Amino acid sequence: MTIVKRLKTAVFIIFLILSASWVAVPTSNPVQAEATAGTIITVDTTEDLADSSNFDNHTCNYTSGAIFFPAPDGKCTLRRAILEAGVRPDADRPIAIKFDIPTGD
């Protein structure tokens, strides 16, 4: 057998193997396990309401002593949700941040 024929045969065999493996793959979407969040923080505004001070200590609804406390306006911004997720104790983890923003916001 010449080198060209061997090369063609090898390419054909590789093609058959790849084709067979493609057919063997299921076409349905695989089931993926979703981690259950211990705490869910829901962002409800697109505003970026940073405190006027250098230290932003407003959270969405979590209180930790006198340092971190819910914002007086009751809004949960992404900034506040991230801050809250960072200061919550390990017992509250995993933490999910979800969005429920009104269409007019």
pLDDT tens for 6-43 read: 878 887 788 778 777 766 655 556 555 556 778 999 99
Is 12 part of a structural domain of the chain? no
pLDDT value for 32: 57
pLDDT tens for 65-95 read: 888 999 888 999 999 999 999 999 999 999 9
Q: What is the count of structural domains for the chain? A: 1
Name the nearest CA neighbour of 103 among 48, 47, 45, 49: 45
More reliable by pLDDT, 15 or 54:
15
SS3 85: helix
Is 67 part of a structural domain of the chain? yes
More reliable by pLDDT, 30 or 100:
100
Residues of the domain holding 46: 39-99
- pTM of the model as a whole: 0.61
What are residue 41's DSSP bridge partners? 97
